Structures are given as structure tokens and as C-alpha cells.
Amino acid sequence: MIKLEHISKSYSAGIPALNDVNLEIEDGEFVFIVGDSGSGKSTLIKLLLKELEPSEGNITIDGKVLGRIKRRQIPKFRRNIGVVFQDFRLLKDRNVYENIAFAQKVIGESNKSIRKKVPNMLSLVGLAAKYRSYPRELSGGEQQRVAIARALINEPTILLADEPTGNLDNNNAWEIMKLLEEINSRGTTVIVVTHNMEIVDVMKKRVITIKKGLVVSDNKGDEAHEV
């Protein structure tokens, strides 16, 4: 479970980026976080990754209170959270296989484990035939699939996707969302930050709306709850 209790974050004097946010996201949920630019969505993602510290309040993820995690423990904590970005962030000088394997090497996995896991992950995202290709040889949708495979290779319980369809055409955007839904069906908690309200409206998932640092609504499927 992800639990935010009275979370506020201010960067300087003035209006806080987040203001007294209270949220609970259960294990295995699929959640959209929406809001205008500057509403506080990116700040929320950075707080969940412990890239930022809240000015007030507590965040608990999988039973761990983030404020009590020591600096040296942060890399281990982050292994449990996969992250996908709008701009893919692939290593341009490495092929698809090497990009995904890199995430395994960082945590010290054996070559034997890597040789087994990477092809399985490539099959999951539909890129088994492209393992030797370099990012420049792939479409935007394929690059995002590689990024998702890399985010999932270490078997995180949570996947954060920050505008994952922002650089994709409509067809590729829907393919990526179907893939995220498939990943969620396997038990991974999926949190998607997006501006694409067409996708949000069609998929009928939980939608948390942030406006000027405040959670203004929490729509759990068919029924909206104004906060």
C-alpha cells in the first residue's frame, strides 16, 4: 500500500506545490493522476521516489515510512519502484537487450539470471525480435516498450509512468496503455500521470485530480468523490 498523510511540499515562500494531501493506493490498483501543468503531479512522483522530502507529513510505501529511510538505503528502496518517463531515457549506445540488462547489472544480478530474464521481459512487451536493435532504429512506441521492460525487469511491486504516451501518436499510445493494463493484471500497482483525458475517460480506472497542490477529486471507477 501507498499512504500519504497530510503531505505538503513547498519549494520557497508562497503557494506550496502540494498542500495537505491525503491518499491511499492499495496494492494492485491502477490509478491515473491528472491535473494541469504546475498542479503538483511531478512533485508527487518525486516524493514517492524519495527524490524530494515533504515539508510536512508522512509517506508510507509497503510498510516503510520514507522519512525513516537512511540515505544509504534509498537505492534498495527504489528497486521496488519501476519508473517510465515521457522521453524514454534509453542508453543510445546500447541495443535493446543491453538497455534492459543494464538495470539487472546495476543491482548485481548474475549473467545467468540476466540471460533468462531479459528474453522473458522482451516477450512480455512484444519486442523479442528486436533485441539487437538500437534505440535510433525503433519507433517511439517501441522505445517506450523497452523503457517499460527495463522498469519491470527487477520485478518492482509499483510502476510509476510519468506521461508515458506524451511523445506517441494515438495508436502507439493505446498500445502502451494496453500493455500497462496487462502488467497491472499480473499484480503490479500502476500509477500513471497523464494529460491524455481521452485515455483516462475510456479506461474507467481510478482518477485522482490535483489542482494547485490540492487533491480536488478522487474518482474510484464510476463514482467521483469530491475532496
Domain boundaries, the chain: 88-155
What local confidence, expressed as pLDDT, does residue 11 receive? 87
- In this predicted structure, what is the pLDDT of residue 221? 63
- Residues 24, 2: contact at Cβ < 8 Å? yes
Q: Answer yes or no: are the C-beta atoms of 114 and 141 closer than 8 Å.
A: no
Q: 140 with 128: CB under 8 angstroms?
A: no
**pLDDT of 220:** 79
Name the pTM for this structure: 0.90
Per residue in 169-180, pLDDT (tens digit) is: 999 999 999 999
Residue 226 has pLDDT above 60, yes or no: no
Q: Which pLDDT band, with edges at 50, 70 and 90, does 222 fall under?
A: low
At residue 153, φ and ψ (nearest 5 deg) are -60, -30
C-alpha cell at 170: 494515438
pLDDT in tens, 70-102: 999 998 899 899 999 888 889 999 999 999 999
pLDDT of residue 225: 44
Q: What is the pLDDT of residues 178-204, one digit of tens each?
A: 999 999 999 999 999 998 999 999 999
Number of helices (H), then strands (E), belonging to the chain: the values are 7, 11
Average pLDDT over residues 38-47: 91
Q: Which grid cell sits at 141?
A: 512506441
**Checking DSSP bridges between strand 214-220 and strand 223-226, what pairing results, if any?**
antiparallel
Q: Which residue has the cell 528497486?
A: 79
Taking residues 210-226, what's their average pLDDT? 77
Place of cell 519508473: 83
pLDDT at 214 over 70: yes
pLDDT value at residue 227: 45
DSSP-derived pairing of the beta strands 30-34 and 56-61: unpaired
Q: Buried b / exposed e across 146-182, counting CB within 10 Å, b at 16+?
A: bbbbbbbbbebebbbbbbbbbbbeeebbbbbbebbee
Closest alpha carbon to 214 in 8, 4, 12: 8
**C-alpha grid cell for residue 227?**
475532496
SS3 205: coil
Owner of C-alpha cell 510519468: 162
Q: Could you say which DSSP state residue 40 is in?
A: S
Q: DSSP letters of 153-169?
A: TT--SEEEEESTTTTS-
